[in-house]
Amino acid sequence: MLGKIINYYTIKNQVFIVFETKKIIATIIDDGICNFKEEETSSFAVDVNGFIFDYINPVVEKIDNAIKITHGRYKYVINDNFILSIYFDDVLISSDISYYNNKTNEFIDNSLLEAEGHAVNIEEEYKYIISKKINSNDCLYGLGDKTGFLNKRGYEYDMWNTDDPAPHVDSFKALYKSIPFFIVFNKSYSYGYFFDNTYKSNFNMAKNNSEVVSIGFTDGPLNYYFIGGNNLKDVVSNYTYITGRMDMPKRFTLGYHQSRWSYSTKDEVIKLVDNFKKYDIPLECVHLDIDYMDGYRVFTVNDERFSDFKNFTEEMKNKGVKLVTIIDPGVKVDSNYDVYNYIVKNKLVATENNEVYVNSVWPGESVYPSFIDPKLRTYWGELDGKMLDLGVSGIWNDMNEPASFNGPLPSKVEFFDGNRIHYHDEVHNIYGHYMAKATYEGMKKHNNERPFVITRACYAGTQKYSTVWTGDNHSIWSHLQMAIPQICNLGLSGFAFAGCDVGGFSSDATKELLIRWAELGAITPLFRNHSAMGTKRQEPWEFDDETISIYRKAVKLRYEIIPYYYDLFFEAANTGIPAFRAVVLEYPEDSNTYEINDEVMLGANILASPVVEQGKRNKLVYLPSGTNWYDYYSYDKFEPGYHIYDAPLDKLPLFVKEGAIIPKYPNYESLDDPKTIIFEIYPGDGTYIHYQDNGVDFNYEEGEYNIYEISHIDGNIRIDLSYNGYKLYDKIYIKYKNNIQEYKEIGTILKIE
Ligand code: GLC
């Protein structure tokens, strides 16, 4: 309890509210974005000091005993005990509940539950609980990678990065990522809350009371953001304004990735790559899992199995294939190993009671680098740079929850940040975040190219450094189904570049599951087939000819839409709006979209309705209202509403919005320097903006890119260059139905029929 309001004062855009026991600072960051925090609170994810502006001048008044802060269309009214109410255009949209008991009052005998092997829920003691009133028909989105469906209403989750290989089911409270951000959505408003607290917390999403969301924090200071906006997209955009957005990705990363734990010799990899050639399946990248290392020592290469590694990466590049290597955080305890010696000698590792802390991961006994220490990050980043020198094209960070095989890290394990000690209970949820930061910064510094980092664990804001995948899913149909809402919610939580293990990691994939998963993979931002050792192999030729041919079709479809995807990443880099979008993000007016779990929008123009059920050869498709839709393949017209669509095994149902223009690559060109583009015109007038750059480095930030504006009015196609800072395509084609014509001169009109 903070007690009564004693006083307040304003400096720039910050209002200091003095309560009996504490001071709360309300910082008005922008229209509808306000941070509330205790004094002296710093953040691991956000540079709060970066949001102090002279030019934002909220109106601050004291009315009765409340402080009222007005800025733009928003009013924040703060009462005694920091009871907050927020108004949008004078309508109350969010308010605190002063006391709310989110614990169950039921009698529970845990010993009986345990006796039959049930999971027992130990109710945490919370340092503080914040309870927000919502409406009973509000949808709740976001929260990162949590299991289950798009709408999180009625469930309860924990923020505690967790590596649990059991099948991730709806009742899981936590997975690998902690993104303490959720969105409250209703036809008439949307807003979000971001609780920037890294300690373990619990998000009760109206589970006990349909009108209350209640968040309990085990520790840490109060520090949260209200994130409003005129619509759902604004909220996502505003949230990523606070926590950061991705760079443009390297173009090759949008291609097809093949992985398995583990391709363990270079001959195996060469054979793999040759098979992709043989079966005419495009391949961009192979991921090397832990067996490329020498005894699982990170930043080493096994000389016997991967001899002359630099030549090998070169040889692969000559075949058009890049290599990504896994780097885990656990450093093997081994006094003959330079990485271990260096980080221990320089006190760059976690300790317990001042002694080096040892747990166990793949290499056996291992130490945990302190990624919150800038010195460690610099060292680690240099090691990543050495991997680049060996010809590696990306780094895959895993096990960074951090995982441990010998019991969980005790809460009082110490991590030094260069100035002072932080304990594990504070650092746990940001361990992966800082590992990704070290990797990103090291790679960027080394060659000034766009780093390709993939991480399993992360916190709010990790999207600035890394793409993510959803960890160890299983080859089961329910995980194919879950991938859609999971990647959509990651997108709504700031992670525009995300994917899942295509085919499923654990358990054995069937032919049909792999095929349907490849069809989904073809449209997820990161498209990587990955599986665990000991499971049925998941390369398409491990099944039959039909699998090979459908798999090829799915991967080629992916390559066709890569220029469209690249445009979507241009949008994500600038606005934070994800490429792979929950349908509601595009159609917030259409209430049928609010809980769609088996469809997704790829940007504004393509709706995908993958088949995610075993045995199904048709799909009940919902096409949102307000526009007509066209079959991606046949141009058949569909009105909005429900349709039963034929979806044989080799077909991913795709629909294009009326008036859309989709940039496509002709039958798979190299992604290194694509010289030809096709703009495919779908029925209806429309315009489209297409972005082009070198796909590799940061020169685009200095203006080395092109923006093409394509318009279609009544059968007349015109392309203009609204910005020209990079070489143009050699050839541009316009495609309409079965006609393809070369478009020869920018600024002229070409007729289609
Ligand atoms: C973890 C990762 C998985 C990887 C395995 C071995 O389970 O999630 O992707 O293959 O470790 O490194």
Cα distance between residue 554 and residue 649, in whole Å: 11
Q: What is the layout of strands, in order, in the sheet containing 181-186?
A: 5-11, 14-19, 23-30, 33-38, 223-227, 189-195, 181-186, 139-142
In the structure encoding, which two tokens stand for residue 431, read together?
């361990």
Per-residue confidence (pLDDT) for residue 100, from 0 to 100:
62
What atom in ligand 1 is closest to the CA of residue 262? Answer: 10
Q: Judge whether 697 counts as a catalytic residue.
A: no
Of all helices (H) and strands (E), which one includes residue 201?
strand 201-205
Ligand 1 pocket, CB under 6 A: 261, 289-290, 326, 398, 456, 471-472, 505, 530
Cα distance between residue 606 and residue 621, in whole Å: 13
Q: Judge whether 472 counts as a catalytic residue.
A: yes
Positions of the chain with pLDDT under 50: none
Q: Judge whether 398 counts as a catalytic residue.
A: yes
What atom in ligand 1 is closest to the CA of residue 165? Answer: 7
Residue with CA at minimum distance from ligand 1 atom 10:
261
Per-residue confidence (pLDDT) for residue 544, from 0 to 100:
98
Per-residue confidence (pLDDT) for residue 104, from 0 to 100:
62
In the structure encoding, which two tokens stand for residue 433, read together?
């975040």
Per-residue confidence (pLDDT) for residue 42, from 0 to 100:
87
CB 27 within 8 A of CB 51: yes
Cα distance between residue 510 and residue 533, in whole Å: 16
Distance 533 CA to ligand 1 centre (A): 9
What do you get for the CA distance between the two ends of the chain, in Å? 70
Distance 268 CA to ligand 1 centre (A): 19
Per-residue confidence (pLDDT) for residue 112, from 0 to 100:
86
Is the pTM for the entire model greater than 0.75?
Answer: yes
| Beta strand extents in 551-628 (DSSP E only) | 580-581, 600-602, 606-608, 618-623
Distance 216 CA to ligand 1 centre (A): 31
Contacts of 475 (CB under 8 A, 6+ apart): 503, 504, 505, 506, 507, 508, 509, 510, 513, 514, 531, 535, 536, 538
Q: What is the DSSP letter of 408?
A: P
